[in-house]
Amino acid sequence: MASEPHRPAPLHDHVALDEIELYAEVLVAAAHADRRLAREELDRVLGLAPGPEGPARAR
C-alpha cells in the first residue's frame, strides 16, 4: 500500500492578511497622490475616520 506524501494543512493567518490588505490600500492611496498624504487622509484610507462615502469601516 503506497502512502501519499504528507501535505501540511493550509494556514490562514487572518491578522496577517488584514495587515497586508491595509498596507496595499495605503500603497494605492500614496500612488494616486501627487504629494505626501496627511495623517487625516491615512486615517481615512485605513478606515479610522469617516470618509466622503460615510462612516469609518469596522475592522
Note the pLDDT of residue 59: 47
- Give residue-wise pLDDT tens across range 7-52: 776 677 888 899 999 999 999 999 999 999 999 999 999 888 776 6
With a cut of 80, say whether residue 3 has pLDDT above it: no
List the domain boundaries for the chain.
14-45
Note the pLDDT of residue 49: 78
CB 3 within 8 A of CB 22: no
Residue the block writes with cell 505626501: 36
Note the pLDDT of residue 50: 72
Cα–Cα distance between 28 and 34 in angstroms, integer?
12
CB 52 within 8 A of CB 41: no
Note the pLDDT of residue 6: 77
Name the region of 28 (left: φ>0; alpha: ψ -120 to 50; beta: rest).
alpha
Cα–Cα distance between 33 and 13 in angstroms, integer?
31
